[in-house]
Structure 1
């Protein structure tokens, strides 16, 4: 159906917003991780596994919060017919639904990302210690 209605280009609709999303998400996540690490680090400078899990979860939640509108725009671009750009989606949402619509569904996303990113951060740090 996508091929018939939108042609070959339709299969990649929403890909650019996803690519654009990766850069700020990663930057915010790394910055947040380092910031939270400085706040929680003890006098000895070491962090426990629980502290690293907490920092990873908070960093993932922070980057999700900051970049969540890009996820919403991408989903709308792909799911709702007639849109050609993220800017068009964002402008229409702002006009018709207000800024709050940029964060619809944020709560479940934050709950889902916290354990995933926390575990990923701890694993990455442990692997880098072995090198």
Structure 2
């Protein structure tokens, strides 16, 4: 269950379903005749990811993920089926690698005494400016 990204990529490539569809874009008449774009479908549950990796993967997948838990990637950047197939598989692999990366912990910023007093003085000045913006009273 807690294996690395390479094992998950292997599982993904073993369970992925490919279908070839007609692509748009460059290619002249050939693009109208040949299905060169590749659509990859993969059940996210087939990857058997650790819960925290699973959560990051869902976040990264975004709109590429269906309600059923399938990832749908369409690769149509190139003119040939084989290049698009390799591109789609590489994009899927990169998505899995990114999900396995731990986010960097944010270091809390520290403020010294002088910085703190300067910040508070600035807030007081700004507050005074805003307080002076009230309605005009005619006494």
Q: Could you say which structure has the greater relative contact order, defined with CA pairs below 8 angstroms and 6 or more residues apart?
A: 1
Higher strand share: 2
Larger radius of gyration: 2
Q: Structure 2 length as normaliser, TM-score?
A: 0.30
Higher helix share: 1
Q: Structure 1 length as normaliser, TM-score?
A: 0.31
